[in-house]
Every structure is written in structure tokens, then in C-alpha cells.
Amino acid sequence: MDYQKLANWQKIPELKGLLDLSTPPKELFFCGNFDPEIFASCIGVVGSRKMTDYGSRVVEKIVPDLIFKNQTIISGFMYGVDKYAHQTCVDYGGKTVAVLGWGIDTKLTGDDLKLAKKIVESGGLLLSEWEAQKATHWTFPARNRIVAALSHEVIVVEAAQKSGSLITARIATKLKRKLWAVPGPITSRTCEGTNLLIASGKAQLWLGKSASTNLSLNEDPILALLDQEALGANEIARKLVQPVSQIGAQLSLLLLSGQVLEKGGKYYLADAS
Amino acid sequence: MLVKIRSIANIGLESVPIDVEVDVATAGFPGFSIVGLASKAVEEARERVKTAITNSKLDFPPKKITVNLAPADLPKDGAAYDLPIALGVLLASGQLPLPSDIDLSKSFFYGELSLDGTLRPTRGILLLGLFAQKSTPGATIFVPEISAAEASVVEGIIVMPTKSLAQLVQHFTGDSKITPLDPKSITQETETKLIEFDLSEIAGQEQAKRALIIAASGGHNLLMWGPPGTGKTMLSRALPGILPPLSNSEALEVTRIYSVAGLLTPGQALVSSRPFRSPHHGVSNAGMIGGGSNPLPGEVSLAHLGVLFLDEMPEFPRSVLEGLRQPMENGTVEIVRVAGHVKYPASFTLIAAINPCPCGYLGHPKRECKCSDRQITKYRQRISGPILDRIDLFVTVSVVEIEKLSLTTKTAVNTVTSKEAKMQVIKVRKLQQQRFKDADRPLYTNSQMRNIDVKKHCLLSPEAEHLLKMAVEKFDFSARSYFRLIKVARTIADLESSQQILPEHMAEALQYKQIL
């Protein structure tokens, strides 16, 4: 992909956040159509490379809300939560900035390339402080400082106890950015880091939109069941004492009408996300 | 003196007549040679024949003996020519007079000799029977007693179960005649086998059970997807119990393959239940597809008209899986070797079980998956698109949470026994038989329909068609998955005895769409 150098970035007011860093990047390179407006209101969505099902549900829940509030999603273009945040953002028509952990001239392949093209097409940017630099162990933490500096707020979705996302979180705190962490099950290893951030008071608890206590008004018995928890077709059939063939047919119809979502054999209520 | 004895050679499922010509010369240096592209096994017949004749208290003539297996340019393999060679030697040397009631041109001899003169089990007897029936009406075949039952289902021939060379000699001299085998009708042979697992024994997994019934009814290929310990293997083991019995012509077709492979147990006349093959994932290409210098049928052919079950499908070597493409498309497999070109039927229903990731716990409610993204992608990529494209039903077999099963309260709606399921399957198979009776090629099941047949036989109600269009838009179906969906919906409609495909059938079919 074609890239350009961002001349005199220090003079762009939207990028002054980067000057908060003790070691601001010397140069900046980007792919896409540069419009400083994109940095007007950035929110970092970062997390583990090893995203769990829960992590992906969280991303699906928070990213559309942020886009709705006209925020730019900024993240680190690494598989797991980062890439999924970019992906979800693009899918919902939002703008996103991907800060690369390697030089901008690195050739992307496969899924990476597809996602990068989509980001650019939807008005987003790929950003890097290097022109030619191989990805290696020190480039990722370096990239994290830019993510933290560009963001006005940072949300950590999922992070293990030793995770790159915690580096971002630490820098964000140092730069006095508002830090949020999504609570997770205390049994999950990939939520230890985020839970710890909350427990130690370093991050605020992110609950998304205030958990509304909407009364279950669903007429459909299947929807009423799914309102309480996500279930597979077998369990629904068992609970409603109906043949699984009929339940399956009804689920397909609900799926087609967009009232429920399916993932890994389980059904979720669509408007709960 | 020269004697000509008839026998056959089996090349795949084709039989070729072989004349075993034995000449015992009056003059010349004593010797015993076999010509006519004989393999090592046939060459060694010299030693077996010589010893068997001596041990049957007969004389092996100390003369110049020449055996020719005609046609001379066709390679021959196997030990089945022992019996015709031994008989030829005895007749040509004048020890054994040819009785007037035996016509050598109407008799076939086939069987391996042991050193003491008894006849050993030999493969391919059914093919000999079928060949004799076609080429020589009223033929008599002399075959080893142990394997003779195979040919008993062939009408219009006389089967002589022969114990030993000595018994055959006594039959020729008239001292004691061999009693021909009673012909058996095929129908009395097909019985039901004991079932390993009953569907009702498996806890939960209602949807997977339903998918199994649909697969068995319409011959659809099925892929089960889920973490270890959820009952994928158990479900597939329950499948033989709900498969419909083989029809007479089908039973004969399957038995032919097993006869060639030498897999019929001694005394077994027919393969009576549908084959269920589950090769281990260490299987080689030749083991799966068929092979050897004289190609023998592989697992795909042994599963003909039955089920091929691949447990842990991604663990199979890539080349073996890709080798399944041709048989899955054509229902036959062609094997080419130096020795020749063989075509075996291989029309099977594929049932595959796979884990969601290498460690198996991706998406497990309680255990954590330890695989990296890359590992998971690599694991999934082991099964190529063309193979997935040929699978009609995908079903998630998720973890059964014991406490949610409520084993104490009986939910009668969803428990189905294998017996009930089998009745449903048989009913649907009959409907399909009716539907395809005028087809221009052998069509047994809904899954075998081509697009043109789908248009002819699958009447969609307008609502169902609308639903299908909505689904195509939402899920981005390819043309192939579009037709696949209709075929599955057809089978579901058959299960509900509906002439037309209604929206609820289409909606249920959507439950089994591709998930990988």
C-alpha cells in the first residue's frame, strides 16, 4: 500500500497529545487520506492477543456505542482484541486509526491486508513512526506509547497479568489519560490484568451503557429464555419441551429477522449487545 | 496329453476367463514349469501342487509338465490356480479318467491348496459365481468349502463345496460324490445386526441426533463440530443402528467388493448390513482410496452404500482427504497402477467429527483454550474448501452440562430410540425410491440429486422460496450451498411426509448451514 510522510506533525494541533510523551516520535508515516479531524476525539480500545469469546462480545458491545458518539477507535493492529476492534469499527461504518508495531513499508498479506484496505476505504488511517523497521520485541511497547498518547481515553478490554495492553494502560495513566477496564470473570486468566487494574484503583470500571433493567416483555418464549442467558438449540428445546426440529426452524427465522445472533452454536439476543 | 481347465482372474471387480492348459509330455527330461505371466504366488504353486498331490496318496508324474495360463499376456496373481493346475496334472497324466458326467468346458475350478491337499479359503468366489452365471448357463463351480457360501446366492449355477484334492478325486472316480450347496435366496440372508449404541442412550445432543436422522434418510454428508467428550464418536457409532437395511441388489454389490478384498468371514454368504468404516487417521493414501500393485479396494470402496466415518478429520493427511474428492463427486474411484486400471464403486455417506481447535476447548464454557490464533487457522485450513463444499449438514455438538440435562424428568418430545429413527429413515428412503424410479441414472437418495433434478423434484412453496432468498442475502451463500440447502430441506420435508417444501422445512435446513 502507498504511504506518505506526515510533514511537521508537531504543528498539527490535533496531534499535540503526542508531545506529552517524554520521547515523542521523530517522524510519522501514514496510509490513507489524512484529515486531522480524525484525531479530534480518539478512544483507545486495546486488549489481549488471545481474545476469548467474552472479549469479542465486549468489543461488539462497546465499539458501536463509541462510533455512535462520533469517537475514533484507535488500537494497535495486532490479532486478538486490537484487530477485532478495528474490524468491528469498520463493519459499523466508524473511523479507526491503526498504529502499527512495525515500519509502514512492511508488506501486509492475507487477512491483515484485507483489514488494512477496509480501514483506509472507510476513511481511517494506518500510522507508524518508522518507515522501514522490522517488527521485534521492542517495537510493540514503543507502538503502545503512541496509542496511549493519541487517545483521550483508553479502554482495556481483556488483559492477562503480563500483557502488552498493561503497558498501554500504564503509559496512559502517566499521561493522565482516563483509563477504563472492562471487568471479567475472576476465573479467566485473560481477565486477571483488567480485574487487577480495577482492584488497584488504577482504572475505572467500564460497564458500557448503564445496565438497563428492561423488563422482559418478550412474547416469544424463545426470546424470553434468551433474555436471561445465551443458550444452544438443544437447551432451548429441553426447556420449552418442544421437538428440536421445530425450535431449530424458529431459531433460523429469528436469526434471519435479526432478533437473535448465533456464535459457536449459542444464541444471543441481538438487542442485548 | 493336453488338458484344458477353466478358471478366472479378477481384476478389480471385473472377471476375465483363464484357461489353465496342462500338458504332460511323453518324452523329455522331467520338469515342471508354469508360463503365462505368473506372479511369485502362482510360480510357487509348483511346490504346493507337487506336495499336495503326493500327500493325497496320488502320484506326481516324473515327466515333463508344462502349464500355460492363457491369455498369456495378462498378469496373474494369487494362489487360486493351485486347484486347476493339480487337477490338470492328474487328468493329463492319465491317473484320473474323465467321467462322462463332467463337462470340463462347463466347469470352473478355483482355490488354493495347502500342502496336505486340503483347500484353503480363497477370495473372489462370489465374482467367480457371477461370472459363471453370465458366461456359461448351468455351469458347475468347484471351490473351497470354507468360502463356498459366498457363491450360494448366485442363481443358475451349481456350487460344489470341495474340502480337499482327495475329495475331488473321489468325486471324479465316482467313489463318493460331493453334494452341491443349497442355493440361498438373498432375502433370507439380510438380518439386523446388534446395535452398538442406541440413540436414546446418548444424553442431550437433540439437534445432532436429528441431523443424524436427516443424514441417514437422505444420504447427506455430515460434519459434527465440538469439543472432546461431547459424544461425537458415540453419535456416529449409533448411526449403523438407524441405517436402512440393504436391498437385494445393494447387498450383492457390497458383497462383491468384500469378496475381492477377502474380507468375508468363512461361511458368510452376504454382507447383510450397511458397511460402517472408521479408518484411523494414520491411514495411507492407498489404504483409503485403494491400491497395491494389483489394486485392492480401499476404505472408500469398503464403505460403498454405507458410511465412512472420519474421527478427528483434520488429523488425516491432507493428500488422503483430497483423495476423497473424486469418489465423493462421482461415487466411483479409479486406481491406475502399472499392472492395470481398476474402477471400484465408492458411493458412501461421509460422517466427519472435528474439534474446534487443536487443544479442543475453544468456546468451552469452563475450560480455557490454549491455542494461538495462528494454530487455529492452520488447523481449520487442513480441511480444504472443496471438501467442505461437499458436506451438506454441519452441526455443533456442544458441551452437555449434566445439571441441565435433568435426567429425572422425562422430556418425551426429544427422546428418540434407534428403532423409531430407523422406521423414519426407511419411510423416507421409500419415498425417495418412488421419486427417482424414472431417473435416467441410478439415484437412490436426495443427496445425489444434481441441480437439474433439484429443479424437477423440489417444489418450494412461495414462502419457503422467499425465506431462502432472505437467507442467501444474509449469509452470502454460494450457488452450491444454495442447492445443498434445498436438498436438505427436501429430506426434512420427506421426514414430515410433506410433498411441498414448506418454510419450516427450509428454516430447519438453515440450522445445518456451513459453520467453518
Tell me the per-residue pLDDT of B320-362, one tens digit each, with 9 for 90 and over: 999 999 898 888 999 998 877 899 999 999 999 999 888 888 8
- CA B387 to CA B390: how far, in whole Å? 5
Handedness of CA B226, B230, B234, B239 (dihedral sign): negative
- Burial pattern B89-121, b for ≥16 Cβ within 10 A else e, equals bbbbbeebeeeeeeeeebbbbbbbbbeebbbeb
When mean pLDDT is compared across B136-140, B265-269, B308-312, B416-420, the lowest value belongs to: B265-269
The proportion of chain B whose per-residue pLDDT surpasses 90, expressed as a percent, equals 47
Show the cell assigned to B452.
437439474
Per-residue pLDDT at A236 exceeds 90? no
Instruction: Specify if B470 maps to a domain.
Output: no
Instruction: Specify if B7 maps to a domain.
Output: yes
Tell me the per-residue pLDDT of B22-76, one tens digit each, with 9 for 90 and over: 999 988 899 999 999 888 888 899 999 999 999 999 999 999 999 999 898 888 8
A125 close to A38: Cβ distance less than 8 angstroms: yes
Q: Chain B contact for A161, CB < 8 A? A: no
What residues of chain B, 391 to 410, have a C-beta less than 8 Å from chain A?
A: 396, 398, 404-406
Per-residue pLDDT at A211 exceeds 50? no
DSSP string, B234-257: HHHHHGGGGSPPPPHHHHHHHHHH
Q: Chain B contact for A270, CB < 8 A? A: no
CB contact under 8 A, A265 and B396: yes
Tell me what the pLDDT averaged over chain B comes to: 88
Instruction: Specify if B425 maps to a domain.
Output: no
CB contact under 8 A, A249 and B471: no
Which residues make Cβ contacts (< 8 Å) with residue A229, sequence separation at least 6?
none
Question: Are B163 and B205 in the same domain?
Answer: no
- Looking at CA atoms only, how far is residue A6 from chain B in angstroms? 33
What residues of chain A, 17 to 76, have a C-beta less than 8 Å from chain B?
A: 49-50, 52-53
Prediction pTM value: 0.74
Number of domains in chain B: 2
Chain A and chain B share a number of CB contacts under 8 A equal to: 86
Show the cell assigned to B49.
501342487
Q: Domain of B294: which CATH number?
A: 3.40.50.300
pLDDT at A212: 45
The proportion of chain B whose per-residue pLDDT surpasses 70, expressed as a percent, equals 95
DSSP label at residue B38: B
Q: Looking at beta carbons, which residues of chain A come within 8 Å of B209?
A: 244
Q: Looking at beta carbons, which residues of chain A come within 8 Å of B396?
A: 232, 264-265
B299 close to B288: Cβ distance less than 8 angstroms: yes
Question: Are B256 and B399 in the same domain?
Answer: yes
SS (H, E, C) B294-353: CCEECHHHHCCCCEEEEECHHHCCHHHHHCCHHHHHHCEEEEEECCEEEEEECCCEEEEE
- Could you tell me the pLDDT band of residue B402, with boundaries at 50, 70 and 90? low
Of B205, B373, B508, the CB nearest to A252: B508
Question: Are B40 and B105 in the same domain?
Answer: yes
Tell me what the pLDDT averaged over chain A comes to: 87
Q: Chain B contact for A234, CB < 8 A? A: yes
Where exactly are the structural domains of chain A?
Answer: 4-205, 221-272
Question: Are B162 and B23 in the same domain?
Answer: yes
CB contact under 8 A, B510 and A188: no
pLDDT at B381: 86
CATH code for residues A4-205? 3.40.50.450
- Could you tell me the pLDDT band of residue B246, with boundaries at 50, 70 and 90? confident
Q: Chain A contact for B516, CB < 8 A? A: no
Question: Are B133 and B213 in the same domain?
Answer: no
Per-residue pLDDT at B144 exceeds 90? yes
Tell me the per-residue pLDDT of A26-49, one tens digit each, with 9 for 90 and over: 889 999 988 888 998 999 999 988
Instruction: Specify if B9 maps to a domain.
Output: yes
Tell me the per-residue pLDDT of A136-195, one tens digit each, with 9 for 90 and over: 999 999 999 999 999 999 999 999 888 889 999 999 999 999 999 999 989 888 899 999
For residue B64, the SS3 value is: strand
Which residues make Cβ contacts (< 8 Å) with residue A5, sequence separation at least 6?
A27, A28, A29, A131
Of B398, B414, B504, the CB nearest to A249: B504
Q: Which CATH architecture has domain A221-272?
A: Orthogonal Bundle (1.10)
- Could you tell me the pLDDT band of residue B132, with boundaries at 50, 70 and 90? very high
CB contact under 8 A, B507 and A253: yes
pLDDT at B405: 61
Tell me the per-residue pLDDT of B424-465, one tens digit each, with 9 for 90 and over: 999 999 999 889 888 887 788 898 888 888 888 888 999 898
Tell how strand B276-277 and strand A153-156 pair up: unpaired
Tell me the per-residue pLDDT of B186-234, one tens digit each, with 9 for 90 and over: 665 455 556 778 888 887 888 999 999 999 999 999 999 888 888 888 8
Angle at B112 between CA B107 and CA B113, to 5 degrees: 105
pLDDT at B101: 86
Per-residue pLDDT at B401 exceeds 60? yes
Question: Are B255 and B165 in the same domain?
Answer: no
Q: Chain A contact for B507, CB < 8 A? A: yes
Of B404, B411, B471, the CB nearest to A241: B411
- Could you tell me the pLDDT band of residue B183, with boundaries at 50, 70 and 90? confident
- The range of the structural domain enclosing residue B350 comes to 199-406
Which residues make Cβ contacts (< 8 Å) with residue B351, sequence separation at least 6?
B215, B221, B222, B223, B224, B236, B239, B307, B308, B309, B310
Q: Which candidate, A32, A5, A141, A52, places its Cα nearest to that of A96?
A: A32
Report the run of H or E that residue B67 belongs to, with start and end.
strand B64-70
Question: Are B80 and B210 in the same domain?
Answer: no
Tell me the per-residue pLDDT of A79-127, one tens digit each, with 9 for 90 and over: 889 999 999 999 888 899 999 999 999 888 888 999 999 999 999 999 9
Q: Which candidate, B342, B252, B222, B251, places its Cα nearest to that of B289?
A: B342
Chain CA centroid to CA A106, Å: 23
Which residues make Cβ contacts (< 8 Å) with residue A213, sequence separation at least 6?
none
